[in-house]
Amino acid sequence: MSLSFRNPFGIRFKLVFLSSFLLVIPWLGYQYILEMEQVLRRGQEQTVLGTAQALATALNERPELFNEGSYTPARRSEDLYVYPIFSALSLDDDSLVDWGEYQQYEVMFGEKDQTRTELNPSRYYGADETLSFRNMVGEHNGSLYAYFKVIDDEIVYRSRDALSVHRSDFLEITMLSKEGNAINRYVVAPHEPEYLYPFQVQDGYSNPIHEDRISGQWYESNEGYEIELQIPMDMLGDRLGFAIFDVDDAQKRYVETVVSTYRVADAERLGSLRLPTPEIDRIVAGMGHNNSRIQVVDRSGRVLLSVGDIQSATGVLLTADPDEVPSNKYWLYVQNKILNPLYYQFLTKPSNDFIDDLYSDVSREGAHINSALEGEAATQFRTLADSETRLLEAAHPILANGDIMGAVVVDQNMNGLRTFRNQAMETLFNTMLGVMLIVTLGLFFSASRISSRIRGLRNQAEDIIDDTGRVRNTIVATRSSDEIGDLSRSFSNIVERLTQYTNYLENMSSRLSHELRTPVTVVRSSLENLGLTASNHESAVYIERAEEGIKRLNLILTNMSEATRLEQMLQTSEKEKIDLVRVLPGCVEGYKLAYPESKFEIDISEQPIYINGVPEYIAQLLDKLIANAVEFSYPEQPVTIFCRSLRDHAIIKVSNAGPYLPEKMKDRLFESMISVRPQVKQDQPHLGMGLHIARLITEFHGGKIGAENRQDREGVVITVVVPLFYR
């Protein structure tokens, strides 16, 4: 016996499975967009490098812009170097923290910078060697900022009632006036750590007048005190100097030590202010509208100038076209609530809220800058550690007289490109989803249609032949012109011919019996005539034998047409309400007479069992079953007739003890011309019509008939199930 494996996947499943290969298309689209992104990135790289190059070209051959060495922190000079500061500074925060990295450029003033002034006419070397300060000057937003970290062992504040401003620790600011013809001096001498209240003083610190344009704070530190101040740039002339006056004895209040940023406080010898060149500013400002962060660094990597911030430096203009914004709020909802969360499972959406921790307004370093400072323009990509953001950085050298003066660094973040890519992806995925949805649904429906048509055809095909193998229905040929229609038509054709053939076969026995009847009659009437005339005793014997044979032939013919005749009669018979319990015992009495050698056992319900039927046919049915049972019964074994109602059916069982039925024959037993009798038993003609007639009658009553081998002993039980009378 071969194992049959039934493929559980129908056409629908297969088609849907095949259609899943469509998923390759969005993948290809995805790859294409990634490729496109690469190209765009290269484009952006070139653009950025181009920007850097353009700027560098503008700055080329202007060595004065870089003024080699002027910014070296170690250099000691009377000049004050004003660093560009790119963040706002707070003057009232009690600390210098906000100066941040700029503090690295502070300059130390100490013992060597002690100066003799009119307040300490004799220089006392070592009077207070500890006095020193560190100073840093920066420029931000039109103001000069400076701080002083003063180391002083004894802080002496101005007494509350003192009118003079020079008899305590104080800071003196000396500057050339804007016009450049006078020297203005300002003194900051607080009563205690407080906000600055500076005075402008004349010679000899006389006539102090409050100057409110200078602001700042004085506060104490561990080693001394710190001063932070702000001076508007428009107050300043070209030269500027600071001096710290130290008083250590609170009683005497003599100025003991002065440390200053200058040697002599006159218009010629005061240190000059070195401001960032506004020319670079202008050149860079001209380039500043291109969505980049641009910095100019000198040879040591210090930032000379910075324009733009990296967060908005996307490089790509991304203002969405207002016409393209979908106005349908449902679609917007779907897009925002369903699709986008899905897409951004695997797409990264970088935020513009990132921090470039390697960035500094003060000094920059990196491979690209190193490369640029060696004369080679370079770009690099950098991924920020805390976010998905990638930065594109380009550096281009600035040349002057064949020397590398510095480099232009142009930075852009890649978020713009990424956003642009994401938008492309969204559009692609939306389109793909739509297309795939339509294609998949279409495929599913067409597959469903096809499979339902095939199933319909299969059901029709299964309905053609009933359980008993008879052709009952036919296939209705469809008119559709496709292959299934063809199949249906050829099926219909086959069934039609099969029906004709089956009809021919089914009617053959009755037609045969009809056709045979005439020659049989010829033979019989001739024999009878012969019998009437024959005088010879010997020939009379043969005539008798011949007549015997003819009689048997006649019986066969009658039996052959019995089924056909019965079917014709069944068509015209009318059913009535009958009680099986009354019909069956009468029949059994008859069988006791008809088969005196057999024993019959009755097991019939005492309650009436009403069915809708024709009593004669029921009797005929029982005749056939009993005849069959008696024939196959072992001698001395009873034939049992059982009848009960079970739920809404009446059950009649006729069982006999006898040889088992062959398994294969159980179902075919009730077909026409089927007999399981052994050949030796054929002393009477049998055509296998008996049980066929039994089935016809059972089906006429709307019931079912079946044969089973008995479980309790060797034998066969035939069961007839007929629905009860119901009205």
Partner 1 sequence: MSRRIAIVEDEAAIRENYADVLRKQGYEVQTFANRKDAMAAFDIRLPNLAIIDIGLENEIDGGFTLCQALRSLSDTLPIIFLTARDNDFDTVSGLRMGADDYLTKDISLPHLTARIAALFRRLDVIDQPPTPESLLHRGKLTLDIGRLTIQWDGQPVALTVTEFWMVHALAKYPGHVKSRQVLMQESKIFVDGSTITSHVKRIRKKFIQIDEEFDCIETVYGMGYRWNITPETAN
Least separation in angstroms between residue 681's CB and partner 1 is 22
The H-or-E segment that residue 408 falls in is: strand 403-413
Q: Which of 693, 405, 409 is nearest to 565 (CA)?
A: 693
Closest to partner 1 by CB, 141 vs 526, is 526
Do residues 84 and 141 lie in contact, with contact meaning Cβ atoms separated by under 8 Å?
no
Do residues 296 and 303 lie in contact, with contact meaning Cβ atoms separated by under 8 Å?
yes
Task: Write the binding mask 530 to 559 for partner 1: x where contact by CB under 8 A, - elsewhere.
Answer: --x---------------------x---x-
Among 441, 505, 522, 540, interactor with partner 1 by CB under 8 A: 522
Stretch that binds partner 1, among 53-61, 100-108, 398-406, 564-572 (CB under 8 A): 564-572
User: Where in 572-591 is the site for partner 1 (CB under 8 A)?
Assistant: 572, 582-584, 586-591
Closest to partner 1 by CB, 405 vs 693, is 693
Among 616, 665, 682, 714, interactor with partner 1 by CB under 8 A: 616
Residue 568 interacts with partner 1 (CB under 8 A)?
yes
Closest to partner 1 by CB, 453 vs 524, is 524
CA pair distance 193, 660, nearest whole angstrom: 123
Q: How many CB atoms lie within 10 A of CB 168?
A: 22
Residue 511 interacts with partner 1 (CB under 8 A)?
no
Residue 688 interacts with partner 1 (CB under 8 A)?
no
Do residues 286 and 93 lie in contact, with contact meaning Cβ atoms separated by under 8 Å?
no
CA pair distance 512, 560, nearest whole angstrom: 8
Residue 562 interacts with partner 1 (CB under 8 A)?
yes
Long-range CB contacts (within 8 A, 24+) of 252-256: 253/156, 253/167, 253/168, 254/119, 254/120, 255/117, 255/119, 255/120, 255/166, 255/167, 256/120, 256/124, 256/127, 256/128
Least separation in angstroms between residue 526's CB and partner 1 is 6
Among 593, 596, 683, 711, interactor with partner 1 by CB under 8 A: 593
- Residues whose CB falls within 8 Å of the CB of residue 705, separated by 6 or more in sequence, listed in order: 670, 691, 694, 695, 698, 699, 718, 719, 720, 721
Least separation in angstroms between residue 704's CB and partner 1 is 22
CA pair distance 439, 569, nearest whole angstrom: 60
Q: Which of 412, 419, 358 is nearest to 390 (CA)?
A: 412
Residue 503 interacts with partner 1 (CB under 8 A)?
no
CA pair distance 562, 673, nearest whole angstrom: 12
CA pair distance 219, 212, nearest whole angstrom: 19
Least separation in angstroms between residue 686's CB and partner 1 is 15
Residue 528 interacts with partner 1 (CB under 8 A)?
yes
Tokens of 525: 């009437």
Do residues 379 and 48 lie in contact, with contact meaning Cβ atoms separated by under 8 Å?
yes
Least separation in angstroms between residue 659's CB and partner 1 is 27
Report the interhelical angle of 24-59 vs 278-287 (nearest 10°). 150
Least separation in angstroms between residue 517's CB and partner 1 is 4
- Beta pairing class for 600-604 and 639-646: parallel
Least separation in angstroms between residue 543's CB and partner 1 is 13
Residue 518 interacts with partner 1 (CB under 8 A)?
yes
Residue 164 interacts with partner 1 (CB under 8 A)?
no
Stretch that binds partner 1, among 38-46, 126-134, 362-370, 614-622 (CB under 8 A): 614-622
Do residues 59 and 283 lie in contact, with contact meaning Cβ atoms separated by under 8 Å?
yes
Q: Is the dihedral of CA 494, 500, 506, 508 positive or negative?
A: negative
Tokens of 374: 């060696």
Q: Give the number of residues written for the chain.
A: 727
Closest to partner 1 by CB, 276 vs 590, is 590
Stretch that binds partner 1, among 69-77, 85-93, 96-104, 612-620 (CB under 8 A): 612-620
Closest to partner 1 by CB, 280 vs 566, is 566
Residue 615 interacts with partner 1 (CB under 8 A)?
yes
The H-or-E segment that residue 188 falls in is: strand 183-188
Closest to partner 1 by CB, 452 vs 507, is 507
Tokens of 208: 């102090």
Closest to partner 1 by CB, 104 vs 568, is 568
Closest to partner 1 by CB, 582 vs 713, is 582
Among 283, 296, 310, 618, interactor with partner 1 by CB under 8 A: 618
Residue 668 interacts with partner 1 (CB under 8 A)?
no
Q: How many CB atoms lie within 10 A of CB 338?
A: 10
Do residues 81 and 304 lie in contact, with contact meaning Cβ atoms separated by under 8 Å?
no
Residue 74 interacts with partner 1 (CB under 8 A)?
no
Report the interhelical angle of 415-464 vs 24-59 (nearest 10°). 170
Least separation in angstroms between residue 566's CB and partner 1 is 7
Tokens of 109: 């003033």
Burial class (CB in 10 A: 0-12, 13-18, 19+), 366: middle
The footprint of partner 1 on this chain (CB under 8 A) covers a number of residues equal to: 39
Closest to partner 1 by CB, 475 vs 581, is 581
Among 120, 260, 415, 620, interactor with partner 1 by CB under 8 A: 620
Closest to partner 1 by CB, 267 vs 619, is 619
CA pair distance 272, 285, nearest whole angstrom: 26
Closest to partner 1 by CB, 173 vs 689, is 689
CA pair distance 184, 176, nearest whole angstrom: 6
Closest to partner 1 by CB, 192 vs 515, is 515
Least separation in angstroms between residue 553's CB and partner 1 is 11
Among 183, 619, 674, 721, interactor with partner 1 by CB under 8 A: 619
- Residues whose CB falls within 8 Å of the CB of residue 553, separated by 6 or more in sequence, listed in order: 516, 520
Tokens of 387: 């976010």
Least separation in angstroms between residue 485's CB and partner 1 is 41
List interacting residues with partner 1 (CB under 8 A).
Answer: 514, 517-518, 520-522, 524-526, 528-529, 532, 554, 558, 561-562, 564-566, 568-569, 572, 582-584, 586-591, 593, 615-616, 618-620, 622-623
